[in-house]
Amino acid sequence: MELWFSEQHTPNVRLSIKVDRQLFSETTEFQRVDIFESTEFGRILVIDGRIMMTERDEFIYHEMITHVPLCVNPDVRRVLLVGGGDGGSVRELLKYDTIDKIDLVEVDEAVVRACRKFIPKTAACLDNPRVEIFFADGLKFIRRKENFYDLIIVDYTDPLGAGEGLFTREFYGNCFAALTVGGIMVNQHENPFYSSDIAAMQRAHKRLTASFPIVRAYQIHIPTYPAGQWLFGFASKKFHPTRDVDLARWNSLALQTNYYNTRIHVGAFALPTYVMKTLSAAE
């Protein structure tokens, strides 16, 4: 018997992964959540038919969404994670002893419950006492905070799903207000390759540049994301991601990583010409 999971990347392109078995499936009031077991990618978290993470390549995503802002500002004390119920980003953040508190706001408790049970590789860390989990709407949660967080990470990838509100100007603006003077926000900047995704990327970029004085995109390579390519947005009140960064200081922390290093940090902000053009067209 052969069982294949397919994700439609465009109406004409799909990515298929051979699946051994389905471990979890639940349709909540927000979305459908599935976890599959596969030979090539290990356990896979799928939301509304889209791959959120796999055990095999999650390190790339989670290291790059966390270590980049922390290298720029190692004095971060309070972090807000919006989405990220799989725990991967929390695991990376906990490597920094200097972080006092991580607030994780996840709209759907099923994601956390499922990951805790089936993907301990990323979710085991969620029991750490420095982590507090709120099951709430990110947009609502953030507008009650002012000058509070040093870092906000938007760890939710689908601009059309339950986290639609996290890709809007009102969200970015309220994040700006919730950040401290040296605050940084890292958000999803989508896939720059397929035409159907470009509009979402440009819109996110335009709305982000309207809210923050410093906005740069950086690129990572993720095998299970559309076109294998993904952009994060680095939005900041004060720090430029490659000019205002003390790479030696990060290296002196001697943290263990598999993808991230300070050369990749600088290199990730070097974008292909077509990506630069698409972004500047949106500004």
Partner 1 sequence: MRDDYLTQERAPILEALTKMKATRLVPFDVPGHKRGRGNRELAEFLGQACLDVDVNSMKPLDNLCHPVSVIRDAEILAAQAFGAAHSFLMVGGTTSAVQAMILSTCKPDDKIILPRNVHRSAINALILCGATPVYVNPQVDERLGISLGMKVAEVVAAIESNPDAKAVLVNNPTYYGICSDIATITRVAHEHGMKVLADEAHGTHFYFSDKLPPSAMSVGADMAAVSMHKSGGSLTQSSLLLTGAAVNAGYVHQIINLTQSTSGSYLLMASLDISRRNLALRGEEIFDGVIELVEYARDEINSLGGWYAYGKELVDGDSVFDFDVTKLSVFTRAVGLAGVEVYDILRDEYDIQLEFGDIANILAYVSVGDRVKDIERLVSALADIKRIYRKDPSRLMKVEYIDPIVDAAPKDAFYAEKISLPIEQTVGKTAAEFLMCYPPGIPILAPGERITREILDYVRYAKRKGCQITGPEDMTIRRLQVMV
Active site residues: 155
Q: One symbol per residue from 144 to 173: x for binding partner 1 (CB under 8 A), - otherwise; what is it?
A: ------------------x-xx--xxxx-x
On whether the CB atoms of residues 20 and 38 are closer than 8 A, the answer is yes
> Is 244 a binder of partner 1 (CB under 8 A)?
no
State whether residue 53 is helix, strand or coil.
strand
Q: Tell me which residue has tokens 């076109």.
A: 227
* Cβ-based nearer residue to partner 1, 44 or 204: 204
We find the least distance from the C-beta atom of residue 149 to partner 1, in angstroms, to be: 16
Give the burial class of 44: count Cβ atoms within 10 A of its Cβ; 0-12 exposed, 13-18 middle, 19 or more buried.
buried
Single out the residue of 32, 56, 116, 143 in contact with partner 1 (rule: CB under 8 A).
Answer: 143
We find the least distance from the C-beta atom of residue 132 to partner 1, in angstroms, to be: 21
We find the least distance from the C-beta atom of residue 136 to partner 1, in angstroms, to be: 10
* Cβ-based nearer residue to partner 1, 53 or 139: 139
> Is 142 a binder of partner 1 (CB under 8 A)?
yes
On whether the CB atoms of residues 283 and 213 are closer than 8 A, the answer is no
Residues in the interface with partner 1 (CB under 8 A) total 17
We find the least distance from the C-beta atom of residue 197 to partner 1, in angstroms, to be: 18
* Cβ-based nearer residue to partner 1, 174 or 219: 174
| Calpha distance 271→264 (Å, rounded) | 12
- Where are any strands of DSSP class E within the chain? 3-10, 13-27, 32-38, 42-47, 50-54, 78-83, 101-106, 131-135, 149-155, 179-190, 214-221, 229-236
The token duo for 37 is 């077991």
Give the burial class of 237: count Cβ atoms within 10 A of its Cβ; 0-12 exposed, 13-18 middle, 19 or more buried.
middle
Q: Tell me which residue has tokens 């290298």.
A: 71
> Is 177 a binder of partner 1 (CB under 8 A)?
yes
DSSP 97-113: TT--EEEEEES-HHHHH
We find the least distance from the C-beta atom of residue 203 to partner 1, in angstroms, to be: 8
How far is the CA of 147 from the CAs of 151, 152, 194, 236, 246, in angstroms?
11, 12, 37, 14, 24
Q: One symbol per residue from 206 to 225: x for binding partner 1 (CB under 8 A), - otherwise; what is it?
A: ----xx--------------
Q: Which stretch binds partner 1 (CB under 8 A): 17-25, 139-147, 227-235, 250-258?
A: 139-147
We find the least distance from the C-beta atom of residue 14 to partner 1, in angstroms, to be: 25
* Cβ-based nearer residue to partner 1, 130 or 143: 143
Residues 91-120 that bind partner 1 (CB under 8 A): none
Site residues (CB under 8 A) for partner 1?
137, 139-140, 142-143, 162, 164-165, 168-171, 173-174, 177, 210-211
